Amino acid sequence: MKKYIYPQKSDWQILTQRPTQSFADIEETVKGIFKEVQQKGENALKKYTSLFDGVLINDILVSEEEIKQAIQIITPELKEAIANAKANITKFHMLQKRSKIEVETTNGVNCWMEKRPIEKVGLYIPGGTAPLFSTVLMLAIPAQIAGCKEIVLCSPPDKNGKINPAILYTAQLCGVTKILKVGGIQAIAGLTFGTDTIPKVSKIFGPGNQFVTVAKQVATQYGVAIDMPAGPSELLVFADETAIPSFVASDLLSQAEHGSDSQVILVTTSKSILKSVKEEVESQLKQLPRQNIASKAIENSKLILVKDKTEAIDFINEYAPEHFIVCSKYEEYFIENISNAGSVFIGNYTPESAGDYASGTNHTLPTNGYAKNYSGVSLDSFLKSITFQRISKDGLRNLGKTIEIMAEAEGLQAHKNAVSIRLKALENEN
């Protein structure tokens, strides 16, 4: 990890950069694949699955038999762990359900808002170096609670043409209606346009590498919504002298092992913490099975020493981390002043891994600085808000003049007439 001692504010723009290619670098590749999927459908899906995943798939739809086999393979211990996580995630997301809101804005003018589910949603589940069955929980559970009619899951196959059994088991447990063996750019394109097997969806969810992230952004050009631009994982830890260095190092490495393009940052006001954490990272890294991947991520990561907590929070808000851990005697200060973060983890005994798996909050979060303007996935992500209004005769009498004056001021005579004609009819009643 590179060390930065008391960096100047003028250097913050460089320090907040992520180790990913830009949208422009990838866009043409993505658009080319999108065009081919749009024109050739599943033939294009099979072509790019063979090219990128190294396997020829004849039938991309996962069969009932494959799901039954997956259920048999999963150990009782893992089934119990998934059930515990599912219970916590369900509990947290059920609390987000809201009844309709209603108000009489003017006597006789009633306005209300109700939620409706997005009917068809697509879930993208990474399955490359780490098959993220935990992401199935994070996406399928709120989709099911929201009442989405079709929940379509895409995940890349392994070299044997199979999807990881834990992904299949979790998907059937959480109400996924269709599972498809396709990943990467071609999966996002398939969900965008629809094919013989993949339904066209209205909104696409799920994290992925930088190619998947750009593919999701391109999908929006074809009328499909996305949850957020969620790319390679990232974590920022603020730690002062009250932090436990071995804990901090383990958190940094937990995100570094996601992928070589992940990034982890330590911000501290303590020279001794900076030194101790650096030593712990180097020591713990040697013990990891995914050492090669984590090592590359660590090369892109930073240790930053700042003067005080005020400078620390200013930098953190500028960086806008996906995950933010705070281990500090001033934790309330950071809780109150954090504006830009996907999810916050507080104290020495709150590892980021808890949020990744089982505490209950959602782990599908904005990366690459998008926490400045995007929220993580929640129940509302799978719902639309529809407003309603009902105006009585008295209500129109009370509000009509206001509408007429405003419409006339904007030069929209037909808008005014829509009210005036009704008011005249009401006068004639009398």
- Structural domains in the chain, CATH included, are 2-16+232-360 (3.40.50.1980), 23-230 (3.40.50.1980), 393-429 (no CATH)
User: Looking at per-residue confidence, does 97 or 24 come out higher?
Assistant: 97
Consult the annotation and say whether 415 binds a ligand: yes
- pLDDT at position 259 over 90: no
Out of 323, 332, 336, 408, which one is annotated catalytic?
Answer: 323
CB neighbours of 414 closer than 8 A, spacing ≥ 6? none
Contact between 175 and 151 (Cβ < 8 Å): yes
Q: Which residues pair with 124 in a beta bridge?
A: 154
Q: Give the pLDDT band (50/70/90) at residue 51.
A: very high
The amino acid present at 43, given as its one-letter code, is: N
Considering the entire predicted model, what is its pTM? 0.93
Percent of the chain beyond pLDDT 70?
99
Consult the annotation and say whether 263 binds a ligand: no
- pLDDT at position 7 over 80: yes
DSSP run (H or E) holding 409: helix 393-409
Consult the annotation and say whether 93 binds a ligand: no
Q: CA-CA distance, 143 to 127, in Å (whole number)?
A: 20
Contact between 56 and 181 (Cβ < 8 Å): no
Q: How many helices (H) and strands (E) does the chain have?
A: 17, 14
> If you average pLDDT over residues 55-59, what whole number do you get?
92
Strands (E), 218-373: 225-226, 234-239, 263-268, 302-305, 323-327, 343-346
Q: Give the pLDDT band (50/70/90) at residue 335.
A: very high
Contact between 365 and 323 (Cβ < 8 Å): yes
Consult the annotation and say whether 410 binds a ligand: yes
> Is residue 363 helix, strand or coil?
coil
Strands (E), 220-273: 225-226, 234-239, 263-268
- pLDDT at position 24 over 90: no
Q: Give the pLDDT band (50/70/90) at residue 322.
A: very high
- pLDDT at position 128 over 70: no
Half-sphere exposure of 47 (CA within 13 A, CB side): 10
Query: Is 93 annotated in the active site?
Result: no
What is the predicted pLDDT for the residue at 152? 98
> If you average pLDDT over residues 286-310, what whole number do you get?
94
Q: CA-CA distance, 346 to 268, in Å (whole number)?
A: 15
| Mean pLDDT, rounded, of the chain | 95
Consult the annotation and say whether 186 binds a ligand: yes
- pLDDT at position 160 over 70: yes
Half-sphere exposure of 119 (CA within 13 A, CB side): 2
Contact between 180 and 153 (Cβ < 8 Å): yes
DSSP run (H or E) holding 153: strand 150-155
Query: Is 322 annotated in the active site?
Result: yes
Q: CA-CA distance, 424 to 427, in Å (whole number)?
A: 5
Consult the annotation and say whether 430 binds a ligand: no
Consult the annotation and say whether 258 binds a ligand: yes
What is the predicted pLDDT for the residue at 129? 67
Out of 42, 234, 322, 352, which one is annotated catalytic?
Answer: 322
The amino acid present at 81, given as its one-letter code, is: A
pLDDT, tens digit (0-9, with 9 covering 90-100), for 166-196: 999 999 999 999 999 999 999 999 999 999 9
pLDDT, tens digit (0-9, with 9 covering 90-100), for 183-242: 999 999 999 999 999 999 999 999 888 899 899 999 999 999 999 987 788 999 999 999
Q: CA-CA distance, 298 to 316, in Å (whole number)?
A: 19
How many other β-carbons are positioned within 10 Å of the β-carbon of residue 291? Answer: 16
Q: CA-CA distance, 8 to 121, in Å (whole number)?
A: 45
> If you average pLDDT over residues 47-58, what whole number do you get?
93
Contact between 269 and 309 (Cβ < 8 Å): yes
pLDDT, tens digit (0-9, with 9 covering 90-100), for 394-429: 999 999 999 999 999 999 999 999 999 999 999 998
Residue owning tokens 């739809």: 61
What is the predicted pLDDT for the residue at 245? 98
Sign of the alpha-carbon dihedral angle for 317, 319, 322, 326: negative
